[in-house]
Amino acid sequence: IFCFPPNKASTTETATSTVTTLNATITAPSAMATSFTTTLNATTISTTTTVTSTTSGTSTT
């Protein structure tokens, strides 16, 4: 009788990507006849991905 213990292989991968917030404000000189203000806003983008794979097997003869 041959008995093989269970074989388990577990792999966990985690990837995290983060983009910081960008705030830029451009204001034209007051000397200009028409003044304007431009504001650029980029919100933070965060992505997290987790992959888990588990394989188990038992063989008994």
* pLDDT tens-digit readout, 26-53: 665 555 555 555 555 656 556 666 666 6
Q: Can you give the pLDDT at residue 50? A: 64
Q: With pLDDT > 70 as the criterion, what percentage of the chain qualifies?
A: 0
Mean pLDDT of 12-19: 66
The Cα 51–Cα 10 span in angstroms is 10
pLDDT(17) > 60 = yes
| Encoded tokens for 8 | 């388990």
Note the pLDDT of residue 6.
59
